[in-house]
Amino acid sequence: MNVNKMKKRAAWAALDYIHPGTVVGVGTGTTVFYFIEALSTIKHLISGAVSSSHASTVLLQKKGIEVFNIKDFRSLTIYVDSADEMNRFMHMTKGGGAALTREKILAAMAKKFLCIIDKSKIVDILGQFPLPIEIVPIAFSYIFEEMIKMGGQPKYRKNVITDNGNIIIDVYNLHIKDPISMEKKINALPGVVTVGLFAARIADVILIGEENSIKTINNKQNKSF
């Protein structure tokens, strides 16, 4: 199974959801980099983009797509992004690229959140991929302790300062059986900026790249898959 081929297939299929004149919300990561390549082929049809990270902004601009400031928007027509893991209830973990806070903001602002993943991201229980948490630096020891109490093994992500000036810890070995309540619980800890659990706001449409096809999940029709 060629993961990159499946990522690319999902990324290009996302073009069907981009309407002329739209300002497109763009996520972060390797799958999204394929999406940016695809988007550049229709750049004359869109108005521009808002981006969840410095890395995506640079790539969008390189491809000749204008990037606007998120601050100037109250809502977005569409946001396209990937995920690190997804369970069958469409709860996700995200943040492998350290852009989780802006990703969550864009997802919340979007009328349509389109998630593009390859099928290797589908899991029974979230937590095999370490759960990223963006925190303000002085809360480091406290949040470490709280994560150990929750049964995880936190690790500081070395040499990473987020676009918001914070740090990331990755929590290993969590078996996230109730993603909605864990998202609430971790988000409520003082010092946490964002946890990379996307369970309260799931994607509206999910495109899963498979070996030879695309699977489309529309969450208005499917409560699980």
Nearer to ligand 5RP, 141 or 159 (CB): 159
What residue ranges bind ligand 5RP (CB under 6 A)? 27-31, 81-84, 94-100, 103
Q: Which two tokens stand for residue 135?
A: 């925190």
Nearer to ligand 5RP, 2 or 148 (CB): 2
Cα dihedral value 177, 181, 182, 184, nearest 10 = 160
Select from 118, 27, 34 the least CA-distant residue to 79: 27
Look up residue 176 and give its DSSP letter. B
CA pair distance 75, 104, nearest whole angstrom: 13
Nearer to ligand 5RP, 97 or 152 (CB): 97
> φ, ψ for residue 168 (rounded to 5)?
-120, 135
Cβ 202 to ligand 5RP, closest distance in Å? 14
Nearer to ligand 5RP, 99 or 147 (CB): 99
Cβ 198 to ligand 5RP, closest distance in Å? 9
Residue 47 labelled as part of a binding site: no
Residue 57 labelled as part of a binding site: no
Residue 21 labelled as part of a binding site: no
For the question of residue 37 being annotated catalytic, the response is: no
- Ramachandran region of residue 188, left (φ > 0), alpha (ψ -120 to 50) or beta? alpha
Q: Which two tokens stand for residue 193?
A: 């900026």
Cβ 53 to ligand 5RP, closest distance in Å? 7
Nearer to ligand 5RP, 7 or 46 (CB): 7
Q: 70, 52 in Cβ contact below 8 A?
A: no
Cβ 151 to ligand 5RP, closest distance in Å? 23
Q: Which two tokens stand for residue 149?
A: 């109490």
If you count them, how many residues does the chain have?
Answer: 225
Residue 96 labelled as part of a binding site: yes
Looking at the DSSP bridge assignments, the partners of residue 23 are: 48
Residue 95 labelled as part of a binding site: yes
Residue 94 labelled as part of a binding site: yes
Catalytic: which of 37, 85, 103, 146?
103
Cβ 211 to ligand 5RP, closest distance in Å? 17
Buried-exposed string 20-46: b where 16+ CB fall within 10 A, e elsewhere: eebbbbbbbbbbbbbbbebbbeebeeb
> Could you tell me which residues are annotated as the binding site for substrate?
28-31, 81-84, 94-97, 121
Residues known to be catalytic: 103
> Could you tell me which residues are annotated as the binding site?
28-31, 81-84, 94-97, 121
